Amino acid sequence: MIDQRLNERKKVWLAIRDVPVDENNPYSPEQVLDNLTNELLDLIEEGKVIISIIPDIESVNYGRGVGYEIIEHVPPTEIKEISATKIRQQLRNEGKL
């Protein structure tokens, strides 16, 4: 999704939900921020990507035209089939989580 928007010459804001660490969220928001920053450092330095931690919200709501769109991106099949649950289980099995 990041590449799709960057290829359209759009800037990207990645919002990390501030949720407690638990079985489904094994990394703290700060750890996620650090990992993403390390991976996307060049794009951040170029001003193309911004990453921040936001409160744990349940929805995005608006009452009238606010000057931007809310766009759903449909990932390619090979991306869509990636399961975070399976990845977490594999990391646990390997002792990495």
User: Which residue ranges make up each domain of the chain?
Assistant: 2-56+74-93
Determine the length of the chain.
Answer: 97
Look at residue 63 in the predicted model and tell me its pLDDT: 81
Here the tokens at position 23 are: 């079985």
What mean pLDDT value characterizes the chain?
91
> What pTM does this model have?
0.76
Instruction: Please give the residue that has the higher pLDDT: either 54 or 77.
Output: 54
**C-alpha to C-alpha distance for 87 and 13, rounded to whole angstroms:** 25
